[in-house]
Amino acid sequence: MSELEVRELRYFIAVAEELNFSRAAQHLGMAQPPLSKAIAQMESRLGVRLLERTTRQVRLTDAGQVLLDQARIAVDAVHAAARRARRAGQPTPQLVVAVKPGGDAGLLREILAAYREAGSHLPPPEVVVGGSGEPIAMLRDGRADVALLRSPFDGQGLDHQTLVVEPRLAVLPAAHRLAGRRRLRLTDLRGEPIPRWKGADPSNTAYYTGCDGAEAGDGHTGSAPADAPEGPLVASVEQLLEVVALGQAVAFLSLSTTKLHQRPDIAYRPVTGLSPSAVVVAWPETSRSTAVAAFVQAAHDVAAHHPDHMTALAH
């Protein structure tokens, strides 16, 4: 059996994501008949059905779902290899660090300073600030060498080290019926709409909505808001704060993020049983870069001396 080609994997990913041959062909810039033929040839070579086709729908088989998951990793790896090779051949190397706004828990400036102090032989750092989901995408496709990420995230193909763990707070309109309390429980928020983050997978959605099963100190589990109605779809912290201030939802944010966004129309309250937010430094597991190693060491050293309201981990 011959191996699958990257081109074929791209074809399959497009069909699997669209679940529609016509739209997938349009996305790929090709005609539908050769796309259908290519998928049929893949199934023939693999000896399994990847897609179930009817006149009304296309759906993935179990084998198709496995191939989709692995194909994404393989295609990303090929793109990343090419990007990293090009960047390694540049006359002036750089260390590209990816982060999203508020995703560093206030550590980044200190980490950069510690990295620069580690030695003049190290390439200069270039920080790229991206939106939600962009830092890990940049790490996977070779545009970044190292990233600061918040849990939860898909760590497949990555090494990472936890830097700090901080509590998350409830985000309420200032006039909310619960805003006068000093501390809340997740059960207090049952029935409240909670924003959904654009592009979030099920595990991230569970985390953002407080439904990821954290154990509460009072014996309750952290899944109280599971039956909450869906709130507005948001793509940034600023957008989240606006919908909360307008009374459209309540939400959860990390302690360091709330310190950056103090507003008179928003109230932040501790929540018993809500899972915390971890900030990690992550890098490709295949990396052998001395610059990446120096950055990770700098991040660890800075986190070890972080203020007491966060928990710095020794390893």
Give residue-wise pLDDT tens across range 250-269. 999 999 999 999 999 999 99
**Terminal C-alpha separation, the chain:** 45
Confidence check: pLDDT of 94 > 60: yes
Confidence check: pLDDT of 220 > 60: no
Between 230 and 92, the more confident residue is 230
Give pLDDT, residue 290. Answer: 92
> Under DSSP, is residue 45 helix (H, G, I), strand (E, B) or coil?
helix
> Under DSSP, is residue 31 helix (H, G, I), strand (E, B) or coil?
coil
Q: Lowest-pLDDT range, 20-34, 76-90, 148-162?
A: 76-90
CA distance 122 to 197: 37
Confidence check: pLDDT of 156 > 80: yes
Between 62 and 82, the more confident residue is 62
Q: Lowest-pLDDT range, 44-53, 103-112, 222-231?
A: 222-231
Confidence check: pLDDT of 280 > 80: yes
Confidence check: pLDDT of 39 > 90: yes
What is the β-pairing status of strands 184-185 and 266-272? parallel
Mean pLDDT of the chain: 88
DSSP state at residue 312: E
Token pair in block for residue 87: 């960047």
Give pLDDT, residue 2. Answer: 60
Between 305 and 33, the more confident residue is 33
Residues of the chain with pLDDT > 90, as a percent, come to 66
Q: Lowest-pLDDT range, 13-17, 163-167, 206-210, 304-308?
A: 304-308
Between 143 and 1, the more confident residue is 143
The whole-number average pLDDT for the span 276-285 is 94
**Structure confidence at residue 211 as a pLDDT band (50, 70, 90):** confident
Between 224 and 9, the more confident residue is 9
Vertex 198: Cα angle to 196 and 202 (nearest 5)? 65
CA-to-CA dists, residue 165 to 152, 216, 230, 286, angstroms = 12, 17, 27, 26
Confidence check: pLDDT of 217 > 80: no
Strands annotated E in the chain? 51-53, 58-60, 95-99, 125-129, 146-150, 158-166, 168-173, 184-185, 194-197, 230-234, 251-254, 266-272, 277-284, 311-312
3-state helix, strand, coil in the chain (%, to 5): 40, 20, 40
CA-to-CA dists, residue 25 to 39, 64, 136, angstroms = 12, 18, 28
Written as one string, the DSSP assignment of 150-164 is ESS---TTEEEEEEE
The whole-number average pLDDT for the span 219-226 is 42
For the chain, domains (ranges, CATH) are: 6-85 (1.10.10.10), 93-160+281-312 (3.40.190.10), 168-275 (3.40.190.10)
The whole-number average pLDDT for the span 179-191 is 94
The whole-number average pLDDT for the span 234-258 is 95
Give pLDDT, residue 313. Answer: 38
Query: Which has the closest alpha carbon to 197: 186, 216, 210, 179?
Result: 210
Q: Which pTM value belongs to this model? A: 0.73
Give pLDDT, residue 189. Answer: 92
Confidence check: pLDDT of 223 > 50: no
Exposed/middle/buried for 216, CB within 10 Å: 0-12, 13-18, 19+?
middle
